[in-house]
Amino acid sequence: MKVYLDNGATTKVADEVLKEMEPYFLNKYGNASSLHEFGREAKEALEKSREIIAKKINADKDEIIFTSGGSESNNLVLQGLGKGHIITTKIEHPSILETCKYLEENGFKVDYLGVNKEGFVDLNELEDKINDKTLLVSIMHANNEIGTVQDLKKIGEICKKHDVLFHSDAVQSFTKEDIDVKKMNLDLVSLSSHKIHGPKGIGALYVRKDLKLDKLLHGGHHEFDLRAGTENIPGIVGFAKASSLIKKEDIKKIRILRDKLIKELLKIENTQLNGSKNRLCNNVNIAFNFIEGESLLLHLDNKGIAVSTGSACSSQSLEPSHVLLAIGLKHEIAHGTIRFTLSKYINEKDIDYTIKCVKEIVENLRRISPLK
């Protein structure tokens, strides 16, 4: 039996998405910048897709810039606004944190907000850090490791009050949580396709229409002169289709299975749930004391179950997750943590099999563990 519970890292491409993309590989393969019929056909698909994604976040279609994914979108924001004071958090994705480190080396001032044990930022600390040189606040909507969902509306109100720009990395939350750029006072939002059963290598950045960014890629004048390069029409079409697939009933089903998995795994002695109850519908992050998470992952892999020991971007590292350390976990507890991330394709049989296997493996690993 095979059970894929690493959907926070990437997802399978949905059949409906693949079907939607296929004509743009085989028959409708024109360049959207070309003036002939093939080009016009591609351009029409491009603009239709832009409109579909814009509507999902209550934006205008000319506020959506297609990129190669969340990391590029995040870099375009941080490097495209000009020099100034940036406020972010200690639990951001590496594409934010590593870029901020690079900017600090080049004269930027960056403040990193701490979080509480559930992963929430302190709104009072945020307000205290804002000064007359603050250019941007960048706080992710939902954490990729522990699933904690921040209150973007309250954060947006603070940013608006102090007239600073507000960006959110919404790669994990897009289609799983409601996003309204107007109600939340969002100026910039990063999105990605491959977390929602779309293709890899395509993402988007919402840019409020009166904002000016310096582009990272120079060449042509594509994407409103913000990103040079021929648009990936098959990927864009697939991204748009994927954004419309998940329904409210899917979210409800995933949440029920998530809660069952949490409830049963916490029956194992010396375990704890990392993050908040206000978490992504598909995220379960559990610390199993006295064992190494990597050992548990490999044993689960032998059983056909795919999970993660942290964010996929740092899974090769022996260092504990920066997110788990930020919420106050000791190194030995962080090392024993597993992230399970569900999708609409997971069923109760998958969850029951996973629970059974985890319980057996944890018991066996603890029996031989030198950590006890």
Q: Which residues are catalytic?
A: 313
Please spell the DSSP secondary structure of 197-212, one letter per residue. TS-SS-EEEEE-TT--
CA–CA dist 192, 202 (Å, integer): 6
Q: Which two tokens stand for residue 28?
A: 């409708």
Q: Which two tokens stand for residue 43?
A: 């351009």
Collect all residues with Cβ–Cβ distance below 8 Å to 23 and sequence separation of at least 6. none
Q: Is 312 helix (H, G, I), strand (E, B) or coil?
A: helix
First and final C-alpha spacing in the chain = 32
Q: Which H helix or E strand runs over 135?
A: strand 134-138
**Burial annotation 311-334 (CB, 10 A radius, 16+ → b, else e):** bbebeeeeebbbbbbbbebeeebb
Q: Side chain identity at 293, as an amino acid letter?
A: G
348 φ, ψ to 5°?
Answer: -65, -35
Q: Is 219 helix (H, G, I), strand (E, B) or coil?
A: coil
Backbone dihedral region for residue 265 (phi beyond 0: left; psi -120 to 50: alpha; all else: beta): alpha
Alpha helices in 147-247 (DSSP H): 152-161, 222-225, 233-243
